[in-house]
Structure 1
């Protein structure tokens, strides 16, 4: 029996985040409810304070994007898993990690 990947189609999450940060200036705000410069500042602050670091396959930009996407869209982990092309467990892990970092930052 052939193995079919769980997530098929669509761009991976890192490509989608890259498009948000390099595309139309309003795209990031439309999708994540924050302006591009705020997203970048948040990401840099979380890294500078050692609250977040790159994972083996998921970099900080995508981790923050996952969390903001779930908050902005009020989407489920399943929807985020489809958007970012990761397993639900991966989405849950990084969403929790970013939320904990935000609490520590506050």
Structure 2
């Protein structure tokens, strides 16, 4: 190869290097410097949720699966018990709206982000905070009331079919399988007799049809007995054990 051919090869390599660097600069500029705005809808999340809450009662129920007064009470209780969610730009009510919309409609973070006009990162962060608050509130309110296990339940007392046979019964325990959205590589432990990924949830209720204890998160393949025994053996689970002579009714599981 003579000198002229070497010069041509070097020139071609140089030009290709320049072109490659130019493409890198363009890519960086378009993605990190001159970014096209994404969430630009005039119907922001706050505007939309205020429209729903101030509109027909059915709109609130259809969107958040609860009545307006229940929605406002939930927001108020969470704020009083555990502090304000959100920020200067995102209100406490909007954050709860994101969570209830996500749970009530069964949608993912991307759809919540589009509906409320926030980034995926912002929505993910707020949903995590709201879930923490709701779980804490659940532990606070789903528990036996004072003197729950004293005396005989009025529902037993006034029904001749159950009195006096169940006079010492204080409630019922049962399990339920809730469909769960699990990553494919992690689904196997959650697939049990239902044939789909589920969580095995153990609940305890009193005769007023109120939940007084809930244990969630177990894989769907776990047997009800295993969930029940784990709750009994772990003091940190705070299971409301009945006093001597009292009992819960359960099924064979």
Q: Same fold (TM over 0.5)?
A: yes
In the alignment, what sits opposite 1:89? 121
2:65 paired residue among 33, 54, 59: 33
Q: 1:63, 1:98 within 8 Å by CA — same for their partners in 2?
A: yes
Residues 50-75 of structure 1, C-alpha deviations (whole Å, 9 max, x = no match): 34334131110000000001001111
What is the CA–CA distance in structure 2 between the aligned matches of 1:36 and 1:8, rounded to whole Å? 28
Secondary structure of residue in 2 paired with 1:101: helix
CA RMSD of aligned residues (A): 1.5
Q: Which has the larger radius of gyration?
A: 2
Once residues 43 and 61 of structure 2 are traced to their aligned partners in structure 1, the CA distance between those partners, rounded to angstroms, is 19
Quick one: higher RCO (CA 8 Å, sep 6+), 1 or 2?
Answer: 1
Contact 2:65 2:104 in 1 (8 A): yes
Instruction: Please give the alpha-carbon distance, in whole angstroms, between the structure 2 residues aligned to 1:10 and 1:75.
Output: 22
State the TM-score, normalizing by the size of structure 2.
Answer: 0.40
- Paired with 2:42 and 2:106, the residues of 1 have a C-alpha distance of 20
Deviation, 1:8, is 2.8
- Equivalent residues of 1:53, 1:60 under 8 A apart: yes
Larger helix proportion of the pair = 1
Secondary structure in 1 aligned to 2:99? helix
